[in-house]
Amino acid sequence: VDSSQMAAGSTYRIVQTSTGTILVVASQKVQHAMDNLQKMIQWSPLVIFRRAVKIILKVLVILLLVTTIVLWIAGKVLWKLGIQPSALEALGLSYALAVFVVPVFLYIYWKATRMLNKAGAEMLHKSIEQQKQQAKQTKESSAQEQV
């Protein structure tokens, strides 16, 4: 968008949100409302909860992968030392973790992230609609004052 294509008195600004980038072409009043909206979204409980869940799930996945690798190595070492029953148990447990538990946790992580992204997008949409209504009411009230 170049300035010659914009309405007189309007400016444009790129606003970065948690769900993506939005190009806003608006007057100063609407930009002020969008700034307030961005601050509200940035520190909303849903966004903070989302970030916490992502961090916790990443830590769980990393711990599972590390545990799987350690158990697999321990099983191999025990097998080479000739301690077969423990080695088989360790190998069985590590393979069970690798084949079943890790993919399950990865699926849970993917599903939770997707669900939280959807909830965040819905919240953003509702907030934008509220801001539009407030801007419309402000415009109508200023138009009535001028009359």
Residue 22 maps to a domain: no
Q: Domain tally for the chain?
A: 1
- Please indicate, yes or no, if residue 1 is contained in any of the structural domains: no
Tell me if 38 is assigned to some domain: yes
Q: Is residue 142 part of a domain?
A: no
Is 106 inside any structural domain?
yes
Q: What is the pLDDT of residue 5?
A: 45
Assigned domain for 141 exists: no
Residue 46 lies in a domain: yes
Write the CA distances from 131 to 47, 123, 125, integer angstroms. Answer: 19, 12, 10
User: Residue 1: pLDDT above 50?
Assistant: no
Of 78 and 57, which is predicted with more confidence? Answer: 57
- Beta-carbon contacts of 41 under 8 Å, excluding residues fewer than 6 positions away, are 17, 18, 47, 123, 124, 127
- pLDDT per residue as tens digits for the range 20-52: 666 555 566 666 777 777 777 666 677 777 778
Residue 8, in any domain of the structure: no
**CA-based nearest residue to 33, from 21, 49, 45, 15:** 15
What is the span of the domain harbouring residue 90?
28-134
> pLDDT of 77-94, one tens digit each?
777 877 765 555 666 666
Q: Model's pTM, two decimal places?
A: 0.37
